[in-house]
A and B are shown apart, each in its own frame.
Chain A
Amino acid sequence: MSNNKKYWKGVEELKETQSFQQSSNKEFNEYLPAADFLGEENLLADSKTSRRDFLKYLGFGVTAASLAACETPVNKVIPYVVKTDKINPGVANYFASNYSDGYDFCDIVVKTREGRPIKIEGNKKSLFTKGGINARVNSSVLSLYDEKRYRAPQIAGEEVSWSKFDGEVKKELEAAISKGGKIRILTNTITSPSTLKLVSDFKAAYPDADIQHITYDAVSFSGMLEANMASFGKANLPSYDLTKAKSIVSIGADFMNDFPSSIQLTNQYAKGRNPEKGWMSKHFQFESSLSLSGSNADVRIPIKPSEQGKIAIDLYNYITGKGGSASAKVKKAGDHLLANKGASIVLAGANDKNIQLVVNAINQELNNYGKTLDINNPNFLKKGMDAKVAALVKEMNDGSVDALLVSDVDPVYSMPKSMNFEAAMAKVKTTVAFASRPTATSQKAKYIAAANHYLEAWNDANPQAGHYSLAQPTINPLFDTRQMQDCLMNWMGSSESYYEYIRKNWEATAFKMQSKSVFFDDFWNNCLHEGFFAGKQAPAVSDDSSEESEASVNGTASVASAIAAIGKAKTGDWELEFYSKVGIGDGKQAHNPWLQELPDPISKMTWDNYLAMNPGDAKELGFATEYGEQKNADTVNLTVNGVVYENVPVIAQPGQVKGTLSVALGYGQAIGKQNEIIGFNFYPAQNAGETYSSSVSFEATGNDYQVATTQTHQTVMGRTSVVRETNFDTYKNSDKDAYNPAHILATHDGPMNVNDVDLWAKHPVASAGHHWGMSIDLNSCIGCGSCVTSCNSENNVPVVGKDEVRRSREMHWMRIDRYFSSAEESVEESERSYGKMENPEDNPMVVHQPMMCQHCNHAPCETVCPVAATTHSNEGINQMTYNRCIGTRYCANNCPYKVRRFNWFSYQNLDKFADLNPSQDDLGRMVLNPDVTVRARGVMEKCSLCVQRIQTGKLDAKKEGRPVQDGDIQTACASACPTNAITFGDLNDKSSEVLAATQSNRAYRVIEEVGTQANVYYQVKVRNTETNIA
């Protein structure tokens, strides 16, 4: 039906007034002046701009101009025009390689993302290092992105092109050669067969010239080499097999940190420390400063450094039954060695031929050759002979050296002051330094051949007989740099590259040693993929008769003379030992902020070296014995062998033997953009070939010095639910309650296990899907800190610097708690008071406890966050949502493990951190893991159990259409652990290693009685001691 209603908008329309009718036809009802204004020229010409209009136009104009002046942000992302085959955005590539800097050797796997190396891990397939790695090696990726690297070759401080550089150097070398002059190549220990061949080729290319290659190790093992030369006619180090050693006696050898192939030894050592297999090695350590190895020893016997020889002699005499004046402790060690003949080992750290000769004799006496050590399959990781280095310096001083080529060593920095290498170097006409970043030596050299970082270079290595390892570049050189080998080849006039040279060399040597591959390309690709080639080893000499005969070559006569020589060991009121720290090592990577911020495993000190002293001595002399945070260390003016150091901080270090001191090498170098000198360089004070000095004096200055430690409380205060330990006998012979009792609560229903008394509903992760968990074996953990730096690099943990560490604000997600506990001569329980418990003893036992987020199923942090920024995942992970976090820090307060870390500042932007934090410059940022958010200021962060790795592992499994296998996914800490102390996996996987570990008798959870139901378990530490100190 039609609608007759009339709709109207206004009364005017309804009534159809006249004005309505007029206006209804016009679209613009009002009068518009535009038409007559624009239409009439006169009007337009007469029109004026009012002040108001002028200001309007001015305002618009200025705004428009300034807006237009703003540059669009420069976009540095360059897309692949042609996509490379193997590089997929978001997918990591892994390359096997090796790390070999003359101090450390490690077979590694380099993780690259979008063509950038970002993470270094141990090569699990390696037969040599067995997947082990240490903090120095896994931090070395950061050195690739060092702002201070040489970007081009330099002549006398001027950057030049390679062609000009080559021309100049060649001219000088040819001048030297033509007159038959002396050319000396000074390098670190090179195990690379191809490099060594190249050097000899270089020599052969100039038969007229006197060319020599001298190997120099800043931390020298020359004494051992000489001793082996004397004993066996081979200047080599033996290879070791600690897995078979039931008795380990170390006389001042820090074999877990500062020893040839320490990564390999650490791995082997841990295999002998598993109490579950029925036997456990017993480790005696005679030493003066508390080393990483000493901190793990079952029995640690304090001696002065000058007594090392005496201990070796006493031990030798006791074992051979020659009597002598062995102390009870030496006898005990000797008895244990004798009881384990052929399954024992004695190691000595002294760089002294005579002591090493005696030790060789002991090992022979104990039939250990061919079993726990093997001189027929030597280890090539140290080759520097002190005498040859001294001879070189003498030659240089004589002015007879025409050209000196220095590669990868820094003798100006690391040689004794008495040798005055710098002055000697000034007398050499042509000095060429191969260096990737400025060193004291390169800065004195005329020619600086800007070298590649090892991740940009080809190389091979032969660390031990039969093991050939390959290193391949994982990125194009970032700068205009070239590796030493390529330079030598260029100067020799070869047109080949070093890569081709290695291939040829391998084709001629390694390829011939095998029969599996028919074609060299196959063989090569396979080796490159695996990272190494396992060649044949010489048969281990195991039958006793042949060993006797070999040993008898130089036998007793040399031992007798060695013993006589040892008698003259220098002693002093104070004896000062030189050692290398776990982080800085020999100092090659002192510029690496990750390593500077890695706490020393014993003192927990960062960013410094210092004079360590026994706390009793320190107290007697009136030095502060507590330090860290706002408490400063007192300083002394220290004179060592005539070299004076001013204002050296004194640290009271439990475990440092009375009357002895120790200082770390490798410090005193300029780091950061400000070239700040960190610590003191003690190399100049070290007499060549000595590991200690008895010519030491010091006087208090009255000044103090700020030191930064990450732990200011040293003992565990008798809290047995934090650290649990027992001895081997108790573990073997008693049931679990004796050493790992459950927490029982008295309830109205009678005694109940603490885990059954629960306010909360069970979390649903218990039987569905994944349930990630971890187990940490306190018995295997040696406290080396490899996991800490690995975590830093995986999770983009910011470096905060000394001042912030001093304020207890280090950001490490993974830390290693170090507790000193009572020594053998234990304090009676009744004598204990809280005050006394706070002070560790003079010769304490040490526990290293890795600590990170425990991923509690009933997490105290989760309930208190007002905005639900930290929650539980359905896979059992306590996760942080950074975007949601408003930074109340309530979670950190309520965390019983204190593992949460707050971003107090913007570490990526604030000037204070410009010098420290790699993420503050374009180059340093390249090391960041793109899978992990860089956290903003004001948010909380903590261990995520490497959730990005879990995700990758799950996705990989999904792509392949299979369930996630146990071992597919490893957290950064677990994969970096050289002793496999950390096991990660799925607790819902019935066959997983981690589930088995959590069900073992040794499994416990830290402060379980709080009811947090953590997903991280620990295994009770078992010491092979007679008395049980639980």
Chain B
Amino acid sequence: MHQEAAIREPLILGEKTYGEITDDVMASVVGKASKSWWIAFGISAVMALWGVGCILYLLGTGVGTWGLNKTVGWAWDITNFVWWVGIGHAGTLISAVLLLFRQKWRMAINRSAEAMTIFAVMMAAVWPGIHMGRIWLAYFVFPLPNQFGSLWVNFNSPLLWDVFAISTYFSVSLVFWYIGLIPDFATIRDKVTQAVPKKVYSLLSFGWTGNAKAWNRFEEISLVLAGLATPLVFSVHSIVSMDFATSVIPGWHTTIFPPYFVSGAVFSGFAMVQTLLIIMRKVMHLENYITRKHIEYMNIVIIVTGSIVGVAYLTELFISWYSGVEYEAYAFINRATGPYWWAYWAMMTCNVISPQVFWFKKLRTNIMFTFFMSIVVNIGMWFERFVIIVTSLHRDYLPSSWTMFHPTFVDIGCFIGTIGIFFVLFLLFARFFPVLPLNELKTILKSSGEQYKTKVEEH
């Protein structure tokens, strides 16, 4: 069995037995939903419905119901798209990259992080869809054989790369997540007594028997998928960033974008994981599994990626001056001092300055403070995308066309709607799915469980 150094802090607190782990995770599935779950679900559902209403109005009337104009052709739509894709980065990073690096602490968080990824990518995919003028022709972006002769998609277009990148990422993430769920579904199947849930869970668990061979295969496929998913973590946001980097618009046309976007994505993804898990561990009484140590680890990731993002911001500023290009220089001066200065400084404060406080151990282990910071980081990252997209577009080459962007209620409604749908999905997940990989957790109980650690120490 794997032995772990005694000085490492335990990952499972309390005197947990295998049975207790199962019971703790199963509590939400077999028990009745709490009042707080219903309240949260109700609010999310209302937001979701409002959003769906706005989207239907948008689709029925035209993209003009948003505040876009002749100069600013993308604003909240693509901001939200990139923001959601970015959030969707943490899950796969945690489950795949940390798996390959044998980081056992990932086990407490990877299930919900991956769920978050799946839902976030789904929300991201909404935006490129509804931002199209003619969504009913969205299938034109797929290289489908057709009767129009040599009509084919444009492989030069980064938007097309997006289609491939996002769909690949989504399918691999989904498969990875589902494979991990199978043994846990089987456990629930074996435990629940009502007929219907038993039937459903037994379907979901694909007839998992739990024999040694099955476990062997499970481990192998997990590794293979982790290997597949790892490059995707980096490719998706690199490709999303190329939507901007390959253009000619000052402020977009920047070679630093791929690494800068990837670290930004991890940054925002971890912040969103924090937001969700800090609430979940409290409400679902999972403090023994998602410990202060887990939160601290994630905060360390946030400092590192936040600092990378900060360096990228400063590099952009330096290069815009160093390039000697009039338009480039103006684009960045305009960001900081132009009519959208408030967005730029909101981004700088939230993303660069505020995460630096996590250098203090006291703060990065403070749960309330972490929760607050996770919200700040998510706001900051939304503004980052807004700044890149809108402030670059609104004043580009010809001053005659300079305009501002003014969001309408439909812009706001659609955005809030995706947040609502996201939370509806996540709450359903928390209610009906095993929120911790209980079978995997059991594998580290004896090496990283608190009582075993103390026992090792005693001997």
Contacts and interface: CB of A to CB of B under 8 A. Distances in A.
B402 interface: yes
Interface in A805-830: 807-810, 815, 817-819
B401 A893 contact: no
Interface stretch (B150-158, B223-231, B269-277): B150-158
Interface stretch (A310-318, A901-909, A983-991): A901-909
B138 A864 contact: no
Contacts of B398: 722, 817, 851, 896-898, 1006-1007
Interface residues of A, number: 59
Nearest to B406: A630
B157 A890 contact: yes
A817 B305 CA distance: 44
A932 interface: no
Given A629-B404, A719-B326, A893-B74, A886 B133 contact: yes
Interface in A918-939: 936-939
Contacts of B399: 713, 715-717, 719, 722, 819
A27 to B, nearest CB: 42
B446 to A, nearest CB: 53
Given A892-B73, A893-B74, A817 B404 contact: no
Interface string A764-783: 00000000000000000000
A60 to B, nearest CB: 32
Contact of B69 (A807, A890, A910): A807
Contact of A906 (B62, B330, B333, B396): B62
B159 interface: yes
A885 interface: yes
A936 B249 contact: no
A713 B402 contact: yes
B453 to A, nearest CB: 54
Given A717-B330, A1010-B397, A936 B134 contact: yes
Given A867-B141, A886-B141, A910-B61, A808 B132 contact: no
A59 B74 CA distance: 50
Given A809-B69, A905-B64, A937-B62, A896 B397 contact: yes
B259 interface: no
A711 interface: yes
B397 A860 contact: no
Interface in A838-871: 849, 851, 860, 863-868
A888 B67 contact: no
A536 interface: no
B403 interface: yes
B67 A807 contact: yes
B67 A897 contact: no
A896 B396 contact: yes
Contacts, number: 176
A394 interface: no
B403 A629 contact: yes
B68 interface: yes
A619 interface: no
A887 interface: yes
Interface in B211-267: 243, 246-249
Given A868-B153, A897-B397, A910-B61, A860 B248 contact: yes
B71 A863 contact: no
Contact of A810 (B70, B154, B333): B70
B401 A898 contact: yes
Contact of A884 (B151, B326, B333): B151
B196 interface: no
Contacts of A865: 154, 157, 159
B403 A712 contact: yes
Given A722-B397, A722-B398, A888 B248 contact: no
Contacts of B128: 888
Given A712-B403, A819-B400, A893-B74, A905 B61 contact: yes
A808 B401 CA distance: 9
A670 to B, nearest CB: 27
Interface centre among A804, A896, A940 (most CB of B within 10 A): A896
B140 interface: yes
B108 interface: no
Contacts of B163: 866
A125 B132 CA distance: 48
A684 B337 CA distance: 47
B137 interface: yes
Contacts of A711: 400-401
Given A807-B69, A809-B64, 4 more contacts: A629-B403, A890-B157, A902-B73, A1010-B397
5 contacts: A717-B330, A808-B403, A888-B133, A893-B74, A896-B396
Interface of B: 61-64, 67-71, 73-74, 128, 131-135, 137-138, 140-141, 151-154, 156-160, 163, 243, 246-249, 326-327, 330, 333-334, 337, 393, 395-404, 406
